[in-house]
Structure 1
Amino acid sequence: MNKSDLDTPYVLIDVDKVEKNIFSMQDRAKKSGIKLRPHAKTHKLPILAKKQIEAGAIGITVAKLGEAEVMVAEGISNILIAYPIVGTQKIERLFKLAKQADITVAVDRYETAKMISNRFNEDPALSVGIIVEIDSGFKRVGILPGEPTLDLALKISKLPGLEFRGLMTFAGQSYNAADIEGIKQVAMHEGSIAVETGKMLQKHGLNTEIISVGSTPTSRFVSSVTGVTDVRPGTYIFGDLTQVSIGVHHLNDCALTVKVTIVSRPSPDRAVIDAGTKVFTMDGSESPIGTGRGYVIGHPNIQVSWFTEEHGMLQLTSEDQYLTVGDTLEIVPVHCCAVINMFDEVAAVRDNEVEAIWPVLGRGKVR
């Protein structure tokens, strides 16, 4: 089936570009002598997680237990859950998951680790990996580096049922950097904080087999910090306008697009498409190349100007006013992670032919 036969709105995944992006990041990690633990919250597709592992990734990162459960069910066996696991129900699910795969969980408070320990201590034959998340400046979650991290790690290391494995951090402030040099400075700061704190832990006999850092923006730089063991980029696999805007992805390498149909032409300079916020969401800033809330492939002067729930409004220049009701377009979104979570399935496309329909098994797994 040709992609032209697909109904709209539909997410298209260019498999050639995905594979190029996977191997490019893996090659970068290999040359830096570090491990790649890609974040699967971007694609939510076990088939792509397997491609990443086949290319050399040591495992994957997820945000939520639900994503981990989906991946384990499909045979992924090494998973970092980079999110606090809190509450009896979630800890019970974690307990069951740890019987099936090698699971590591990030925590930033003793109380969180103690609750997990209480459950795992009920079965002396079972344990779960624990790493401490450091706040390297993003001010989301994480404990302050240095002595506060050391104190927490020492306490956690004494808890039964837990296997202390090291540290992680996420410098989300890199997305606000003014340019590539700014991203580099954030990355080097992120890496050095994690490594120096790791050295403190090592002096006290604590295991630091994992010093995990990085995101798609910072991964190219932070991997050069001696002592970092792995990076966790996610968006690199598809790319989007946010990554293009900060100079870490090329527009031509963006692998995810949304196929849409023009459903109305209210005026010569305006077209309406069958996709709004329920497809593209309102996440992220506008296009860095002056095209609004998306980039229309082959029509660089069209403005994706605004959305309502079911409608997308396009502003047309004179050269694009030939477009009519029924015409289809492909749009690169501002933020690919948000878009794929809106769809039950996506089309894997190679040379304009639909190679497969992939169910988005991790979609909506927010618990």
Structure 2
Amino acid sequence: MEWYQLTNEGQIDSPAIVVYKNRIEENIGLLKTMIDDVQRLRPHVKTCKMAEVVRLMLDADIRRFKCATIAEAEMLGIAGAEDVLLAYQPVGPKIVRLLELVQKYPATTFSCLTDNLDAATAISNVFHGQHSLRVYLDLNVGMNRTGIKPGTHALALYKQLHELPGLLPVGLHAYDGHIHETDMTIRKEICDAAYAPAEQLCDDIVKVGLPEPAIIAGGSPTFPIHAARKNIQCSPGTFVFWDWGYSRILPEQPFHVAALVVTRVISVIDKERLCLDLGHKSIAAENPQPRVHFLNVPEAQPVSQSEEHLVVTVPDTAAYPIGAVFYGMPLHICPTVALYEKAYVAANNACYANWRIVARDRQIII
């Protein structure tokens, strides 16, 4: 049998997501070999969203984590993570929720991002007199999504953060998710150019007499580049499950695909077209087709998709009767995971448990 085939696939109601525990553990082990100090790792849990996967990383002596939502942060607190960065600037009710989170899980050190004085002041107003919250200055190093550009204004803002009660500025956050060139030479050149202003800002902060800030940089595509630097923390996330997209554009990273979608033939349209139960609600739909690659039917080509249906062409539909199971590798695994309430857990070609994808919810308790 192939590694992904399941002897008990008849017990799995499709569409479903299946995670392969042994391959997850292998990916965690591979990640640790790619950096000089495991304590420099700060994996992003937006990919897994499962406390059980977090515990596998904790078992591997990974102690620092990054997340994007209050629910993901709470999942980390529940799992017993020691250091959690909410890589998001909380605004409105999220600030109060973050305070409640900090108070509920005192064994976990929480922090968040900020990129302007108004937002930082609002956070300060909530935390002052309640708790001292660590904050990282969010830098725009080319992603053009959030953050302040490194330079004079960023230095001034970092100094102002030290004057706000309830806040403890501890570092800089530089996410370069816009960099994903396949050619590693080109990717490194672009990454180094994007990172240089952040490094200069760090030096400028020290020159004005403030403590040297910690730096958290990169995601999966630039992980090998930042891992070669000294001291900075690295935040890959997709490594834990990997996907079709990154397996094609990041050939230098040896991670194994550890999560698949399982779907079935529900209708035979004609001699060349089949319909599967893998609609928009079951596979991340933010990219153009093809959004999934079927390991056991690589010749299948998507031609149309709606909420509950995916129509594909194959050379001969006679080979795929009603109920035939397709094992699909998503183009983008992170938002695909968020579409499911639970994951089937497989080992030795059989599913033996379910793990709740608890952080797909916007709220757990807090």
Provide, for residues 145-197 of structure 1, a one-character-per-residue CA deviation record: whole Å limited to 9, x for no partner: 1212111100001111111111011111113x353333222332343332221
* Aligned equivalent of 1:325: 322
Which moved further from structure 2: 53-62 or 209-218? Answer: 53-62
CA distance in 2: counterparts of 1:151 and 1:284, whole angstroms: 39
User: Does structure 2 retain, via aligned residues, the 8 Å contact 1:43–1:337?
Assistant: yes
2:40 counterpart of 1:35: yes
Provide, for residues 191-250 of structure 1, a one-character-per-residue CA deviation record: whole Å limited to 9, x for no partner: 333222111111122233420001111101122233x52011111111112212312477
- For structure 1, which runs of at least 5 residues remain unmatched after alignment? 287-291
Provide, for residues 40-76 of structure 1, a one-character-per-residue CA deviation record: whole Å limited to 9, x for no partner: 0111011111212221323211101122123213323
Give 2:129's aligned amino acid: E
Deviation at 1:314, TM superposition (A): 1.3
Give 1:102's aligned amino acid: T
Give 1:293's aligned amino acid: R
2:251 counterpart of 1:253: no
CA distance in 2: counterparts of 1:309 and 1:337, whole angstroms: 19
3-state SS in 1 of match to 2:189: helix
User: Does structure 1 retain, via aligned residues, the 8 Å contact 2:226–2:232?
Assistant: no
Q: Mapping of 1:124-143 within 5 angstroms?
A: 126-143=131-148
CA distance in 2: counterparts of 1:353 and 1:2, whole angstroms: 6
2:232 counterpart of 1:232: no
- For structure 2, which runs of at least 5 residues remain unmatched after alignment? 1-6
Q: Mapping of 1:172-211 within 5 angstroms?
A: 172-175=177-180, 177=181, 179-211=183-215
User: Does structure 2 retain, via aligned residues, the 8 Å contact 1:104–1:128?
Assistant: yes
Q: Mapping of 1:259-298 within 5 angstroms?
A: 259-286=262-289, 292-298=290-296
User: Does structure 1 retain, via aligned residues, the 8 Å contact 2:14–2:277?
Assistant: yes
User: Does structure 1 retain, via aligned residues, the 8 Å contact 2:284–2:336?
Assistant: yes
Which moved further from structure 2: 212-221 or 200-209? Answer: 200-209
Q: Mapping of 1:303-342 within 5 angstroms?
A: 303-318=301-316, 321-342=318-339
Moved over 4 A (4+): 248-252
User: Does structure 2 retain, via aligned residues, the 8 Å contact 1:191–1:225?
Assistant: no
CA distance in 2: counterparts of 1:35 and 1:248, whole angstroms: 23
Give 2:243's aligned amino acid: D
Q: Mapping of 1:43-62 within 5 angstroms?
A: 43-62=48-67
- CA spacing shift, 1:42–1:151, aligned 2, 3 Å: same
2:121 counterpart of 1:114: yes
CA distance in 2: counterparts of 1:95 and 1:332, whole angstroms: 38
Q: Which has the higher contact order (CA 8 A, sep 6+)?
A: 2
Provide, for residues 102-138 of structure 1, a one-character-per-residue CA deviation record: whole Å limited to 9, x for no partner: 1111111111111111122123xx2110000111111
3-state SS in 2 of match to 1:253: coil
CA distance in 2: counterparts of 1:250 and 1:302, whole angstroms: 27
Give 1:314's aligned amino acid: V
CA distance in 2: counterparts of 1:276 and 1:81, whole angstroms: 31
User: Does structure 1 retain, via aligned residues, the 8 Å contact 2:54–2:79?
Assistant: no
User: Taking structure 2 as the reference length, what is the TM-score of the superposition?
Assistant: 0.91
2:298 to 286, 297, 300: 300
3-state SS in 1 of match to 2:360: coil
- CA spacing shift, 1:303–1:343, aligned 2, 3 Å: same
User: Taking structure 1 as the reference length, what is the TM-score of the superposition?
Assistant: 0.91
Deviation at 1:84, TM superposition (A): 0.6
Deviation at 1:39, TM superposition (A): 0.4
User: Does structure 2 retain, via aligned residues, the 8 Å contact 1:236–1:249?
Assistant: no
CA distance in 2: counterparts of 1:78 and 1:204, whole angstroms: 28
Deviation at 1:321, TM superposition (A): 4.3
3-state SS in 2 of match to 1:211: strand
User: Does structure 2 retain, via aligned residues, the 8 Å contact 1:180–1:246?
Assistant: no
User: Does structure 2 retain, via aligned residues, the 8 Å contact 1:191–1:222?
Assistant: no
- CA spacing shift, 1:193–1:53, aligned 2, 3 Å: farther
CA distance in 1: counterparts of 2:253 and 2:324, whole angstroms: 27
Provide, for residues 281-304 of structure 1, a one-character-per-residue CA deviation record: whole Å limited to 9, x for no partner: 312354xxxxx2211112222213
CA distance in 1: counterparts of 2:51 and 2:251, whole angstroms: 25
Give 2:291's aligned amino acid: R
3-state SS in 1 of match to 2:354: strand
CA distance in 1: counterparts of 2:123 and 2:111, whole angstroms: 12
Instruction: State the identity as a percent.
Output: 25
User: Does structure 2 retain, via aligned residues, the 8 Å contact 1:120–1:162?
Assistant: yes
- CA spacing shift, 1:198–1:251, aligned 2, 3 Å: closer
2:199 counterpart of 1:216: no
- CA spacing shift, 1:251–1:26, aligned 2, 3 Å: closer
